[in-house]
Amino acid sequence: MITLKAPAKINLYLEVLNKRADGYHNLCSLFQMLGFYDNLSMREASEELHLTIEGMPEGTSLSADSSNLVLRAATLLREEMQMRGLPLRGAHIHLIKKIPIAAGMGGGSSDAAATLIGLNRLWSLDWPREKLAELGCRIGSDLPFFFYGPTAWVSGRGEIVETTPSIIEGVVLLVHPNFAVSTEEVFGAYAKVHERKVKNRKIELTREPPPLNIHPDIKRRPEINEILLHPRNDLEKVTLDAHPELEALKDLLKSLEGESVLMSGSGPTIFSFFKDPQAANAAAEHIKKEGYHVTVASILRQSPFEEFL
């Protein structure tokens, strides 16, 4: 049996550069893995793929069918094996879900990456991380990061990952409201707002100045101190406009001395840094009384996947 911990991530910085011809957006984002995990265990079966799930928060659900990213990853891996003439293998996969769904923390992507990594070991394929990351990119834009973390600049639509040292100290307080957000809908709303701005300037999107932060011609990325002093997430306004209560939540975190308060990804999770874990725990207890799901997580210095790659 193979057992893996699939970590959550946050976006320390997220700039949307432009819309691509394929419908995705070019991004410049700094990703960070956290010590907050889903858990997956896998054991070999004859020829079938079977997924069981436990630990879902009350009021949420996650299908254990072909729509689940875990089974999509396992199926994709098997299809690649068949293309190479390798024998069909099966697996029973058990997922213990702790990371909230559709929360901007990459839980589903991390689970899918863990599946590719775990089955690669279970089935003795020994494929390199580059190959697994390429397969992962076919499933979701966040996946490639999880093969290279714990800290990395991510660009393109997510397929270009450049690791960087993490120098952030302390812990992260994660606050998740009791609702989910669709990443696709948030990007769609962002694109509409951006297109209106372009039309108002009476210029075409394709005639905008080229993005400054896209790999490989990176002219400037903010320093970590600048990121912490001036947090940026271009998707935040879209989600906060749809859910004004998140603005009040950000104000609450600031009043409790949380630093660099920001929404992660497309949201709705809001996070802040605390240098003192005791202060973070005290703030967490205060926020729990407001009815939110709260987690205090460490900032990972090494990916839990590294021993399997």
Hey, which residues are catalytic here?
A: 9, 142
Residue the block writes with tokens 């875990």 = 70
| d(C-alpha 109, C-alpha 266), whole Å | 14
Closest by CA position to 224, among listed 153, 283, 292, 156? 153
Q: Find out whether 244 and 195 touch, Cβ atoms under 8 Å.
A: no
Closest by CA position to 70, among listed 27, 25, 31, 40? 40
Residues 6+ apart with CB under 8 A from 53: 62, 64, 94, 95, 96, 97
Q: Peptide bond preceding 222: is omega within 30 degrees of 0, i.e. cis?
A: no
Residue the block writes with tokens 């990007």 = 187
Residue the block writes with tokens 């979701």 = 140
How many of the other CB atoms lie within 10 Å of CB of 130?
Answer: 10
What stretch of H or E contains 6? strand 2-19
Give me the sign of the Cα torsion angle 203, 205, 206, 210: positive
Angle, CA of 259, 260 and 261, to the nearest 5°:
95
| d(C-alpha 119, C-alpha 115), whole Å | 6
